[in-house]
Chain A
Amino acid sequence: MMKHENLYKYIIGIADNSLILGQRMGELCGHGPSLETDIACTNISLDLFGQVRSYYQYAAKIAGDNRTEDDIAMLRKEREYVNVLLVEQPNTDFAYIMTRHFLFDMYHYMFLQELQKSQDLTLSAIATKSIKEVSYHLRFSTDWIKRLGDGTEESHSKMQNAIDDLWTYTDELFHLTDADKAMVKAGVGVDVTKLKDTYYTKVSEILQEATLEVPESKYFQKGGKQGIHTEHMGYLLAELQYMQRAYPNMEW
């Protein structure tokens, strides 16, 4: 067992979300609804990968066994990725893409606000840098939720579908793993359970402003944080890991 196993797991837990969401946004590059939107989405993807690298580099240092950021990013088994299910959902259409983003950004922003106060100085420094980026992501996705929700009939119905479908993945954002609990206790981690009420209040406000119905379903999916993913994950990893798996132990 690693000396700082819980801290390591905690960092991976944060970083995997950004990795998988960044990968999804990266798929979009060159295929967006307008050139301007395309460039904006790529910026978001770049922000997320930047964060990922800071987290994994820190995790690699803690592991202390010569593993690199790329080993962590690309050489784990699917069961070892602990991102939430929300971020791995596919780019079904632009309504899904923006809804997924919005639902995650709101959480991400609130989470980083708290992480800034972490007793772990590296994590708090990463949070302080990232929150500026994420604050912009939230602004960007919130604007799009309003535009699409309160745009045309067609866009409204696509948005409502996306919200209804993705809502089921929101509750998991506020689950605590054992490593999370240990880190909360150590003053390093964020107690995400405390963010939940505010999250739903804020999200609901914006959905209402966007003339969208807040889903009432109480049935939620979970599993990502334990490494049990949706069927989409395998395909995503097949691309992410392709080079490292096909050509092991090489430098690029």
Chain B
Amino acid sequence: MSEEQIKNLEEQFEARIVRDDKIEPKDWMPEKYRQTHIRQISQHAHSEIVGMLPEGNWITRAPSLRRKVALLAKVQDEGGHGLYLYSAAETLGISRDEMFEQLHSGKAKYSSIFNYPALTWADMGAIGWLVDGAAIINQVALCGTSYGPYARAMVRICKEESFHQRQGYEIMLKLSEGTQEQKDMAQDALNRFWWPSLMMFGPKDDESPHTAQSMKWKLKRKTNDDLRQQFVDQTVPQAELIGLTIPDPDLKWNEDKKGYDFGPIDWDEFWQVVKGHGPCNKERMKARVNAWEEGAWVRDAAMAYAEKQQERKEKQAV
């Protein structure tokens, strides 16, 4: 194809996105569109499956049977969501195994929030309430993204996740109605997860290099700072309602912007964790790599068996 032709195709392509046409797997797309989508969708998928680990930790220790089944179902959903997302990425010509390799080698990133430890039962509440709350804000915006398989996966995920945040908030609510010890546990969890949750929306807009391109392709519908603001505004009243204090002395209602002003985020910490030096980066990767490596003989055996069965069937047919 000549440069001229490619330029033509690109213009048509961009015009389709502006018209809100969806892009489907076999459609022509610019290489950069493909690569950006593989990167973002696989990161998203990795976040789901690494995200299973901190909560998965607490399944065996859940304080009641009701909490245990809810948590199991939630962590399982995260596995399912990872699966939907890997499938969406696979339509772009990358295999799940390749994506796993990228994750295990450290080449691919995932949401940094999961590199923080889940230390108490209240952390299950904080994660559901804050981390899922933040994720939902991002994900709802993505239901209208331009790449069909990604948008469809997001619609399904958003539908299923509606119980996740409630599940977390209910845990916090119950703790806040409980003994002093339980209230302290809830406050402590909020203190540890508040700032990392704000960091989930990514760097500030003026330091986010991909924002313009991503907005154009509807991979992002709002900027990082807008989404972060939305999260703060929606969460502060929820905290107040259950008697918890947001750990930010600078937090203040701003009547002019009809939103909260909040204190500075520790971006050094953010970059430290992103670069692999958070409290649990190594443990999380080790858990994923172990599961994958220890499962290799199982996956191989299943393939070998399937092939044998196929051969037997063919022999019988003769």
Residues in A whose Cβ lies below 8 Å from that of B52: 29-30
How far does the alpha carbon of A52 sit from the alpha carbon of B302 in the complex, in Å? 32
Whether the Cβ atoms of B65 and A69 lie closer than 8 Å is: yes
Which residue of chain A has the shortest Cβ distance to B45 in the bound complex? A35
CB distance from B155 to the nearest CB of A (A): 19
Residues in B whose Cβ lies below 8 Å from that of A53: 65-66, 69
Whether the Cβ atoms of B73 and A39 lie closer than 8 Å is: no
How far does the alpha carbon of A151 sit from the alpha carbon of B73 in the complex, in Å? 31
Query: What number of A residues sit within 8 Å (CB to CB) of B?
Result: 48
Query: Is B3 in the interface zone, CB < 8 Å from A?
Result: no
Interface of B is mostly: helix
**A-contacting residues, B286-318, CB 8 Å:** 287, 290-291, 294-306, 308
Are A147 and B65 CB-contacts (below 8 A) given A31-B291, A34-B295? no
Are A243 and B287 CB-contacts (below 8 A) given A151-B301, A151-B302, A155-B301? no
**B-contacting residues, A47-101, CB 8 Å:** 49-50, 52-53, 56, 69-70, 73-74, 93-94
Whether the Cβ atoms of B63 and A31 lie closer than 8 Å is: no
Whether the Cβ atoms of A155 and B300 lie closer than 8 Å is: yes
How far does the alpha carbon of A69 sit from the alpha carbon of B59 in the complex, in Å? 17
Whether the Cβ atoms of A242 and B61 lie closer than 8 Å is: yes
Query: Is B86 in the interface zone, CB < 8 Å from A?
Result: yes
Which residue of chain B has the shortest Cβ distance to A146 in the bound complex? B305
Whether the Cβ atoms of B69 and A29 lie closer than 8 Å is: no
- Residue-wise interface mask of A (222-252) relative to B, using a CB-CB cutoff of 8 A (1 in contact, 0 not): 0000000000000010011011100100111
Which residue of chain A has the shortest Cβ distance to B300 in the bound complex? A152
Whether the Cβ atoms of B301 and A148 lie closer than 8 Å is: yes
Spell out A's residues near B (CB within 8 Å). 23, 26-27, 29-39, 42-43, 45-46, 49-50, 52-53, 56, 69-70, 73-74, 93-94, 146-148, 150-152, 154-155, 158, 236, 239-240, 242-244, 247, 250-252
Please list the 5 inter-chain residue pairs (A to B) with the smallest Cβ-Cβ separation, ordered nearest first.
Answer: A33-B295, A151-B301, A155-B301, A243-B63, A30-B56
Spell out B's residues near A (CB within 8 Å). 49, 52-53, 56, 59-69, 72-73, 75-76, 79-80, 82-83, 86, 121, 171, 174-175, 177-179, 181-182, 287, 290-291, 294-306, 308
